[in-house]
Each structure stands twice: as C-alpha cells, then as structure tokens.
Amino acid sequence: MLLRNVFLLLLCLVAVSPSRADDGYRLWLKYDRIADAAERQQYARVAQFVASPGTTPVLRAASAELQRGLGGLLGQPVPVVASAGSRTGGIVLRVEAPARAAGQPLKAEGYRIFSEKNNLVITGPTDRAVLYGAFALLRQVQTRQPLAGLSLSSSPRIEYRMLNHWDNPNGTVERGYAGSSIWKWYELPERLDPRYTDYARANASVGINGVVINNVNASARYLSAEYIGKVAALAGVLRPYGQRVYLSVFWAAPKVLGGLSTADPLDPAVKQWWAAKSDELYQAIPDFGGFLVKANSEGEPGPQDYGRNHADGANMLAQALGRHDGVVMWRAFVYKAGSADRFKQAYEEFQPLDGKFDPKVLVQVKNGPIDFMAREPFHPLFGAMPQTPLVLEVQLTQEYLGFATHLVYLGPLIKEVLESDTYAKGPGSTVAKVVDGTVDHHALSAIAGVANIGSDRNWTGHPVGQANWYAFGRLAWDHELSSAAIAREWTKMTLTTEPAAVRTLTDMLGQSRNIYVRYTMPLGLHHIMGESIHYGPQPWLAKSGRPDWTAVYYHKADSIGLGFDRTATGSNALALYKPAVQQEWGNAQTCPLNYLLWFHHVPWTQRLSTGRTLWNELATRYYTGADSVIWLQKQWATARPALDPALYADVAARLQTQHKEALWWRDACVLYFQTFARQPIPAPFTPPTRSLADIKQLVQLYQLK
C-alpha cells in the first residue's frame, strides 16, 4: 500500500511539472494540482478517500476517475476503499433505488450529491448515474466551487445523447479536420488503443451515452462478421463509461453482403436478413444501441429505389430489432436535383409520414433546412411532426466554419436553435422542448452531434475545437445551461482558472461565432463557400453537378438586390412554419437581420433597421467582421500570462491564419456583390487592393487536386 501511494504521488508531481508543455491530449480532464495550498487543503478535508462497492465495471470506472482526478488536483494519494465504515471526510458512492434518492425524482442516469455524516455521498438509481455524479463532483473542484455542504442533483433532459462519427474503414474521416480516424480497424479486435479509454472518459464527463462509430455514407463492411467482432471490442471499452455503440448501415447491405437480388424493405427475404443480422449483432454486443440510416440522399440507396417510403424502410429495421433494446434513427437529410427550393424537400418527404413510424423509430433532423450553415433558421420539421420523436442533429466538425484554423465556439449556435420557438403548441414550444419530448409527450428523445474528433494529439485540430465537443455534451444533458456558463466551465477546466483571464476568454468564445458569420455569410447569406471542399468563399459559383450545389442558386444576386425569396411571392418555404413564425420572418421590413436574406430578395437600396442600405450594411458587416478577428487576437494576447506557452502559440498562429482568410472572404464577397450593386465601398472602409480576378485565381488553387 505504501509503495502504491508513493507511486501515485510521483504521478501527481509529474502531472503538474511546469516543464511539461500542454499538447491538448488531456482535454478538460487535466487534473493539475491546485496551486494555492490553502485551497487544496479546503478540498482535501472532504476528499480523503473514496468509498465504493466497485461491484460493476461502471462503478469501478467512477471510483478510479475520482482517485485519479482528486489525486492530481490535491497533489496527494486518495485511496479507494470498499466501505466508509466509521470513517469521515471522504466521498461515498452508492446506487440507490429512485425512491431512496431523496429530493427530486431522478431519471435512470440522474445523480444526487449531498452531505451525510461528514461524508459526501454520490448516489443515483443506476451505476451510470453515479459515474456522471463522480464527474460532476470533479467539475466542482476543477472550476473551484465549494464542496462543503454541497447539495446538487441533476437528471438528463434528453435520453439518447449521441456522437455521430463520420469515420470510414480506410481510416479517413469525412469532413474531418483533426487527422485520421481514432478507430484503428486493422488492429482491432486484438489491440485496444489506450486512446479509446480516454475518449470514453471524455464522453462520460459531459454525459454522452451513445456513439455511432461510422460514417452515415456507410460501408456494408461494418455488418460483416469480421467487423462485428471489431465493433464488439470497441463496445467493451465504452461500456464501463456508460456508452453504447450504434452503427450507420448501408441500405443495400442485403445485396452486397447477403447475396440477395433486392433490398426492398417489404420483401420477406430482406426482412429475414435484417432480423438475422440484428440477432448476430446482439449476440456479439448485448447492449448494442441500434441503427442510424442515411437513405435516398446524395446518391445513397434506400427504400424509394423500390417505390417505398422512408417509413417503410425505418419500420422494417425497427421490426428487425425485434425484442432487442435498440432504436432506429432515420435521417431526414434528403434532397433531389431539380427542386426549386432545397429548403422544402425534407419537410415535403417526411411531414406526411408523421404518425406512420414504428415506436422504435426516431427521425433525425439537422438543425436547419439546408446543411449546417454558420447560421440557419430552425428546421421547419421541428414542431410539424407531433406524433414522431425527432432527433436534433448539429455539426461539431467545422465543415462550413473554417475547418481547424478558425476559432468558432458553437455553444451559441446550438443554443440558438434549441431556444427557437416553433409555436407548435403555442408560445414556448421551443425546439429544445420538441426534442426532449415534453411538447408532444414522447417517451423517446435524442440529440446527435457530428463529431469533430480525430487522431491529432489534441483530438480536434484547433485546440478550442475541444470546447464544441464539451458544449455539445453539456447541452445534451441540460439544454437550459447557458453557452456562456459552459464556456466559463470549459475555460477553467482546460485553459486557466485565473479570474481576469477567464472573463476575457469567455467573452472571446461567446463572440467568436457571430464574428465568423459577419465576415463569411452575414444577413442570412448561405451556401456561398468553396465548391466540394466547402472552404473559403466562392459566391460566383454558377455551374456544378447540380443547381443546388452552386452559390447563385442561394443568393440570387441581380441588379435589383440580393437574397432568396421564400415568401408567398417566391418559393413559399416560409409557409412550412407556424403562423407566428411566418409573421416574425415574413415582412422584409421587420424580419430579424440574421435571417433577412434567407427569406427575402432585398433591394440594394432598401434601408434596414440599422439605418444603412442593404449594400452598405452588407459591406459594413464584412469589414467589421474581418476587423473583429484582430480583436480576437488581442483578447488571446491579453490572456497570455495565464496560458500554457505551447497552447498559446498554437492558437495565436491559427488566429493569424484566420485573419488572413477573413480578409479573403471580405474581399471576395464585397467585390463580387459590388458587380451587382454597382455602388462604392461605404466610408470609412478602404476598397480592397486586389481585384476580383485575383481572388478567383486564389480559389482555383484551393480547388486543385
């Protein structure tokens, strides 16, 4: 015991060595020793030991995390014992039936932390609840909140809190900007990379309880016996941290793997193939979570290939799951070439199917109607399918947000959609309440984030990208948390606890998304980024494989004005929303400026609520947005004394790139739209020194293969 304690102490000392550069690997779970001795002693008085029965792998994971975290934060060993007995001044883990978890009723994963006989007790109805409570207690210490007399309880508002990985069998990650896949398929199942455990710990610390491990543009290979064994090995790593694995499935797998002549969901042989495959999966992975499906979208096969609809396909898979405890999440991201307005297509295909889905089916809907733009109105399906549980899908990987060189904190973006009022059952029917099931009284609820995780040492490419993983998990657990509070937590746990620096960095994070929107797609402009790679500006793009892959399809710039008319005089997509929403967005004179060009074709000379004409307001936003990146640089520099030098240098260099590319966006867009507006750059801004032809040549270089 003495030798073990000495070893733990040495580990703690190594962990806080000032010579160790912060490479970002530890994410927000750094557990560095608290510098102030008096503060350390305050926490040490109530964290002298951890008492855990350790009867399940999950409880053992919880006690090990507390030992690891408290040992590092306090700079001294924290032993784990089977029972507190008569000891006091420690932390007791206990699984109790809901009736004995006093205070408010707790869901299966809800925890309670309270004082009892001079000990802190972490309890909940399940071992998973206790695990989440353990991480909550560590968060209290990491953010320097008091433990004495602590009384805290929390239950998740959403049942399925998922990360969707877009990872492929060959190790690539679609729309991934942090290296290759973390899943090393050629090593599995024999070798389990220790990184998998650290990934599971990070997920558990923010309450994520499900992982779809592969791309929605799925390979049938994942359903082969070889890969089921590999997936089962990953499931074994994630299970002690409360996470289930799910698979994205390729609709034509019965043909590719099963040798059938069809994948028709109503064909008996197809039904039998999927039922047998489900049994095979559950035999290998007893807690397998279920299927995620992208079908009849962007060239993927699906039930419509056989004259069936989405409900036919989803229900067949749900029935194939049979008695197993799993669900089907069917993506609503569908669009076909030739439509006058892609905005409407998912609604037109899915809303008529409301009430026709199996109880095991949830329909997964992107936050907005186009495709993860920097700012979108909420998807009109939210509030329009009362008989169907809907999954909110948001994108954490920065496909349209500057990849891994632009600092963009997505807490405000996720909150913006969650707080949007659908008016489905009158005022207050927010997207959050639709998704968590309270508006329509659904038993199932889910939220999904497209992961931004890769093999880079720091996990997310841009170090601040970690904040988006963190924010998604925290909002999935409790969508009433503010994005600022989450940014403050993440900053304290990841960057610094120095108060002035925390304030500076929290403000910086909070402003970053709005800054990005201003210098890329302000006033509701959308989908004007580079073709295919989705990087940089290309508002002049007029030819592509299909019209709705061009920029001109969306911005509709002409000599009169700018923007997509989606009112009754245009595509009438606005009619997909409830009357109260239509009233808010339907008048160009009163429409919020953030959504103006989403719904209206506005004359260049029309005066907006800012007092400027559309052209002057557009130019002003591009210029001030690009200039605001300099403000981001100054904020980061202000916090420098409180930051790790290696981390500071990394982000500072990326901010230089961000400013260069913000100017690229500014010059490209103002010069291009100026050819239609035919007005000068408004004072006091200086016209770009490079020409539109220069900018187009730069974009061509990015498109080279």
SS3 561: strand
Q: Is 393 a catalytic residue?
A: no
Q: Which of 167, 376, 399, 416 is catalytic?
A: 399
Q: Which residue has the tokens 């008529």?
A: 352
Whole-model pTM: value is 0.96
311-321 pLDDT per residue, tens: 999 999 999 99
CATH (domain of 42)? 3.30.379.10
The single-letter DSSP state of residue 695 is H
Residue 621: which pLDDT band, with cuts at 50, 70 and 90?
very high
Average pLDDT over every residue of 133-159: 96
- Residue 586: inside a domain: no
Identify whether residues 321 and 348 lie together within a single domain: yes
Q: Which of 358, 371, 498, 507 is catalytic?
A: 371
Measured between alpha carbons, how far is 119 from 121 in angstroms, rounded to an integer? 6
- Residue 592: inside a domain: no
pLDDT score recorded for residue 18: 44
Q: Among residues 459, 493, 527, which one ends one of the domains? A: 493
- Residue 355: inside a domain: yes
pLDDT score recorded for residue 20: 64
Identify whether residues 84 and 214 lie together within a single domain: no
Measured between alpha carbons, how far is 137 from 643 in angstroms, rounded to an integer? 24
Identify whether residues 209 and 344 lie together within a single domain: yes
Measured between alpha carbons, how far is 518 from 670 in angstroms, rounded to an integer? 12
Residue 705: which pLDDT band, with cuts at 50, 70 and 90?
low
CATH (domain of 191)? 3.20.20.80
- Residue 577: inside a domain: no
Identify whether residues 441 and 351 lie together within a single domain: yes
CATH (domain of 660)? 3.90.1330.10
pLDDT score recorded for residue 609: 97
297-312 pLDDT per residue, tens: 999 999 999 999 999 9
Q: Which of 116, 226, 280, 298 is catalytic?
A: 298
Identify whether residues 178 and 294 lie together within a single domain: yes
- Residue 500: inside a domain: no
Identify whether residues 398 and 453 lie together within a single domain: yes
**Domain tally, the chain:** 3
- Residue 649: inside a domain: yes
- Residue 570: inside a domain: no
Identify whether residues 482 and 529 lie together within a single domain: no
Measured between alpha carbons, how far is 496 from 502 in angstroms, rounded to an integer? 7
- Give the H/E segment covering residue 119: strand 119-124
Measured between alpha carbons, how far is 262 from 270 in angstroms, rounded to an integer? 7
Average pLDDT over every residue of 222-247: 98
Identify whether residues 616 and 639 lie together within a single domain: yes
Q: Among residues 461, 493, 525, which one ends one of the domains? A: 493
Q: Which residue has the tokens 């500076």?
A: 504
Q: What domain range includes position 531? A: 517-564+601-703
SS3 250: coil
Q: Is 298 a catalytic residue?
A: yes
Residue 403 has pLDDT above 70, yes or no: yes
Q: Are 494 and 567 in contact (CB under 8 A)?
A: no
Identify whether residues 164 and 133 lie together within a single domain: no
Residue 105: which pLDDT band, with cuts at 50, 70 and 90?
confident
Identify whether residues 182 and 314 lie together within a single domain: yes
449-505 pLDDT per residue, tens: 999 999 999 999 999 999 999 999 999 999 999 999 999 999 999 999 999 999 999
pLDDT score recorded for residue 698: 82
Q: Among residues 120, 145, 170, which one ends one of the domains? A: 145
pLDDT score recorded for residue 2: 42
- Residue 287: inside a domain: yes
pLDDT score recorded for residue 702: 72
Residue 99 has pLDDT above 50, yes or no: no
Average pLDDT over every residue of 251-277: 98
Identify whether residues 418 and 552 lie together within a single domain: no
Identify whether residues 488 and 532 lie together within a single domain: no
**CA-wise closest residue to 280 among 302, 240, 253:** 253
